Every structure is written in structure tokens, then in C-alpha cells.
Chain A
């Protein structure tokens, strides 16, 4: 049964995060690795992912708006949508999606290299982790914006006359504190999705099952951390 080893995981993530912020870390090889990962984890899937976000947003805003109107609370529909979809669902959805699509292969690749007896290339590994983290942030930002645009279109169509009410509702939800909290949560998600698979594989003993266990172990640990961060964020925001 895999254990989390939270302290070691946090130290690894903090180390990687600090290294990513150092200008000296950004060698050409790292930049290439980052670009390749961002391209693979974000650019390649952005159209499909954003389309899925539009569908999700349109469905949710329809349900929320209809229910709010039935209860005579239509003025709260936009705020409810922004809180549920943009603040909570979209960042978590993006983190899980990137974790499944890029985090799991990342963990498996590192386990394979260790299995083959090669030491991990620092720039390539760090660059890939930074790329995954940037992919989470980029997709979260684009998805949130896309969801809001889709919600506006679903509520008001192409009419500009709903802009005042919409902006007011968005402004009510996204106070500076909430914006800061959202940014912090997205950064934590990004670090968790990028660092936990790497740490999971690098900290695991080299055994015959290390490669096959790498992805599930990384996913479980990342899911636990994501759920914990989301729970704390919800508790801080609404408690």
C-alpha cells in the first residue's frame, strides 16, 4: 500500500518550484524541454479541451439559470455559476486532465529510466515538470475565460446589454482576495500535478514492478493532494 510521505513530497515540490524561479535554471535545454511539454500538454489538447469547457459551461449555466428563475433568484445565477464552475470545477478539472494525460506518462518515463539504470537528466526532468505546471496554469486561465464567455453567450446571446449585470456579478464573486486565492490554488494544483509524479517515481525503490506501479502510485498521491488543496480552498472561502 503506497504511503504519501507528505514531508518528502512537499520538500521535493518546494525544491523544484524554487529551482523553476531561479533565472540560472533556465538553460536552453530546459527551455526546449518546457516548450515541448507545454506544447504537448496544453497546445495540442487546447481546442478539444476548450470545446469541452464550452459544453460544460453551457450545460451548467442553463441548469443554474433555469433553477434560479424557478425560485425567483435569477440575479444570483451568474454568481452561482462563477463560484461553482470557474472557481471550483474548472481548475480541478484542468489539473486532473493534465495529470492523467501528462503526469502519469511523466512518472512512468522516470521509472523506466531508473529501471534502465540511467540517472535522470536534470534539465529534461525539471523542464518537463515546469512545462506540466505551466500547462495547468495556461489551460486553467483559458478554460475559465472560455467558460465565462460561454456563460454570457448562453444567458444573453450576442447582445451587449447584459454586460453591465454580468460584469457586476463577476466583480461581486472575484474580489481581490478571491482572485488571490484562486491564483494560489491554481499554482498549488500545478505544482502538485508536476512534482508529485516525478517525486513518486524518483523516491520509489527500483524493483521489477516499479514501472507498472509508477503511474497508479503517482495518480493516487496527486489525487489525494489535489483533493486536500480543493477541500482547504473551499473551507477557507465558504466556511
Chain B
């Protein structure tokens, strides 16, 4: 075996190859660690889920489709809930706020997804070590209920579409109905329940037509009568003119009556005066009558006294003067 004193080209190339390979290995390891966020400052977020199925270490927490955190640890806590610890890089922590909502979604295809929703980006920042519940959105969980409902639906459908079922009977009814509809007096017969009823309706319509014809004749005659009445009432020398003349005469009569009433008014004034005099005279008569009454009472008393004093007298009639 030859032993070269200076590095042979083989040795140089081999050294270069090995050096490059070593550099690539180191770079690859550093790149993988960088990809895992080993050189980033992070803060911890703990999500509590009822069921941690589908969640795995290394899984992303996404916000608006972008990964903002990575699951570092999953464990069952004392309360029997899945405790999911997530490392959130400080540079991405701004997307998570105190009021952020976290969901764990499991789809039919693909793995589970942890998603964050932040309604207000001006809210307080998410504190270090914050513990938040995670809401579940599981499409597969609804499947059993959907399948059960579907089974019931199919059973109902089968019952409805079965021979002698409701749908079959209904279709038979529809068939007979359409057959009747396509016949003479079809729609009317269907609507009224029989051909006899339909015939009655048609007869009634004929009669109504005849009635309308006679009404039309009557209307024509009435029209002529109205024209004549119009001529009598409003024509030359008609009732309207006479009424107008009568109204003029009535107006003159009313004027005469007004004059007469004025005269009566004067007479009444005079009568009022006469009545005033009569009233005073009647007052004098009252006094006079009172005096006569007094005299009569005195005379009566006198007669009574005479009768009492005159015992033979039986005639009690008193003759007044």
C-alpha cells in the first residue's frame, strides 16, 4: 500500500465531501429546530377540552388559517378534562386576546383542528399561562343522530309509498279526479260533487241569462220613462218653471205677512198696556171682593145670630140681596 506524503486529490475531495455533509447535517438539525420554534420566545396557553381525541403533540393552533401556536403537551387533569398546553410565539401572541374563543373541530376527512377566533383585536392581551375552555365542533358527532333521523325518514317514506299506502291512494284519487275533469262538465261536477248538481247550476245560469234579458228590456223602458219625466219636469213650461213662479208668489205673500205681523205687534203692545190697566183694576176688584166677602161673612153671622135669637123661625134659607 502506497503512503502519499501530501494529501492526494482523493483525500481532499473526500474531506470536502465529508465537511459539506457535516455542515448539511448541522444546518438540517438547526432548521428542524427552527421549524419547531425552538429559538422563539413563547408564552403558554392552556386549553381545557371535554374530549381530547384527535389532538396530538405538534399540532397547530391556527388563527385565520395561519398557525399561531403548537401543542406541546396533552394530559388528563384532575377533573377528567383534557388539558392541552400550547406554546404561542410572542410575535404571534398579538392575535390572541383575552376574549378570544378557541374551538376544536373534527371533520370527516383530515385530522382535528384547533382554531382561535378573536372578535376584538383591541382587547386586552392574552395573559401568560391563560386557561381557556375549548368549544367543540364535531361533524362526526352528529352522524348517529342524522342516521337515526334518516332511518325514520326512510321508514315513513316507505310507508307512504307502499302499495295501498297513503300516497298510492292519493294518486288513485288524483287519477280518477283527472279522468272526471277531462269529461263533460268535469270541473263543475268535481267542484259540486256530482253531474246532477252541475246540471242544476247550468239550469240556474240559463235562467239567470233569461232574467238578465228581461231586465235589459225593462231597463230600456225605464230609460224612456225617465226621459219623458225629465222633459216634464225640466222642460219648457214644466213643473220646475211653475214651482219657480209659485216661489215668487210665496215670497210676496211672506212679505205681506211680515207687514201684517208688524201691525199685530203694535196691537199687542197696546193690548199689553190695556192688560196692565186691567191688572190694576183687577187688584181693586180683589180688595172690593174681600170687602164684600167680609160683609157677607158679617151678614151671615148676623143671620145666624138672628136665627138663634128667633126660635120660631124654621126657614133657614137665607136670601142674599
Residues on A lying within 8 angstroms of B by beta carbon are 28-29, 31-36, 38-40, 42-43, 46, 71-73, 76, 121, 123-124, 131, 134, 137-138, 141-142, 144-145, 148, 165-176, 179
CB distance A72 to B28 under 8 Å? no
Contact of B13 among A39, A72, A148, A172 (CB under 8 A): A39
The docked-state distance in angstroms from the alpha carbon of A170 to that of B35 is 6
Known: A144-B28, A171-B36. Is A29-B109 also a contact (CB below 8 A)? no
CB distance B21 to A35 under 8 Å? no
Contact of A168 among B2, B4, B9, B60 (CB under 8 A): B60
Contact of A32 among B8, B29, B70 (CB under 8 A): B8
Contact of B11 among A35, A71, A123 (CB under 8 A): A35
Q: For residue A28, which residue of chain B has the nearest CB?
A: B3
Say if the beta carbon of B125 comes within 8 Å of chain A: no
Say if the beta carbon of B33 comes within 8 Å of chain A: yes
Category for how many chain B residues contact A: 35 or more
The docked-state distance in angstroms from the alpha carbon of A172 to that of B38 is 12
Residues in B neighbouring A28, C-beta threshold 8 A: 3
Contact of B18 among A29, A36, A138, A179 (CB under 8 A): A138
Contact of B1 among A46, A124, A137 (CB under 8 A): A124
CB distance B67 to A168 under 8 Å? yes
Say if the beta carbon of B186 comes within 8 Å of chain A: no
Residues in A neighbouring B1, C-beta threshold 8 A: 29, 32-33, 121, 123-124
19 pairs, A vs B, C-beta closer than 8 Å? A29-B3, A31-B11, A32-B1, A32-B8, A34-B14, A36-B11, A38-B13, A39-B10, A39-B11, A43-B17, A71-B110, A73-B110, A137-B21, A138-B17, A138-B20, A141-B24, A145-B27, A172-B35, A174-B32
The docked-state distance in angstroms from the alpha carbon of A124 to that of B11 is 15
CB distance B17 to A175 under 8 Å? no
Q: For residue B107, which residue of chain A has the nearest CB?
A: A72
Contact with A along B39-53 (1 / 0, CB 8 A): 000000000000000
Closest Cβ–Cβ distance, residue B33 to chain A (whole Å): 7
The docked-state distance in angstroms from the alpha carbon of A72 to that of B111 is 11
Contact of B32 among A121, A134, A179 (CB under 8 A): A179
Known: A29-B1, A29-B3, A32-B11. Is A168-B20 also a contact (CB below 8 A)? no
The docked-state distance in angstroms from the alpha carbon of A123 to that of B3 is 12
Say if the beta carbon of B15 comes within 8 Å of chain A: yes
Say if the beta carbon of B189 comes within 8 Å of chain A: no
Closest Cβ–Cβ distance, residue B37 to chain A (whole Å): 7
Residues in B neighbouring A173, C-beta threshold 8 A: 32
Q: For residue B5, which residue of chain A has the nearest CB?
A: A28
The docked-state distance in angstroms from the alpha carbon of A1 to that of B225 is 138
Q: For residue A183, which residue of chain B has the nearest CB?
A: B25
CB distance B21 to A142 under 8 Å? yes
CB distance B109 to A72 under 8 Å? yes
CB distance B33 to A171 under 8 Å? yes
Contact of A43 among B14, B25, B31 (CB under 8 A): B14
New A-B contacts (11) at CB < 8 Å, excluding given A35-B13, A168-B67? A32-B3, A39-B10, A42-B17, A43-B17, A76-B110, A141-B21, A141-B24, A167-B31, A173-B32, A174-B35, A179-B32
Residues in B neighbouring A145, C-beta threshold 8 A: 24, 27-28
The docked-state distance in angstroms from the alpha carbon of A40 to that of B37 is 39
CB distance B25 to A141 under 8 Å? yes
CB distance B21 to A138 under 8 Å? yes
Contact with A along B184-208 (1 / 0, CB 8 A): 0000000000000000000000000
Closest Cβ–Cβ distance, residue B156 to chain A (whole Å): 34
The docked-state distance in angstroms from the alpha carbon of A68 to that of B59 is 18
Say if the beta carbon of B58 comes within 8 Å of chain A: yes
CB distance B34 to A171 under 8 Å? yes
Residues in A neighbouring B58, C-beta threshold 8 A: 172, 175
Residues in B neighbouring A72, C-beta threshold 8 A: 109-110
Contact of B29 among A29, A71, A165, A179 (CB under 8 A): A179
Closest Cβ–Cβ distance, residue A146 to chain B (whole Å): 9
Residues in A neighbouring B25, C-beta threshold 8 A: 141
The docked-state distance in angstroms from the alpha carbon of A169 to that of B60 is 10
Known: A32-B4, A71-B109. Is A171-B18 also a contact (CB below 8 A)? no
Enumerate B143-175 residues with CB–CB distance to A below 8 Å. none
Known: A73-B110, A123-B1, A138-B21. Is A167-B14 also a contact (CB below 8 A)? no
Known: A32-B4, A38-B14, A138-B17. Is A171-B37 also a contact (CB below 8 A)? yes
Closest Cβ–Cβ distance, residue A58 to chain B (whole Å): 19
The docked-state distance in angstroms from the alpha carbon of A28 to that of B32 is 37
CB distance B10 to A35 under 8 Å? yes
Residues in A neighbouring B29, C-beta threshold 8 A: 179
The docked-state distance in angstroms from the alpha carbon of A121 to that of B2 is 12
The docked-state distance in angstroms from the alpha carbon of A4 to that of B67 is 50
Residues in A neighbouring B67, C-beta threshold 8 A: 165, 168
Residues in A neighbouring B109, C-beta threshold 8 A: 71-73
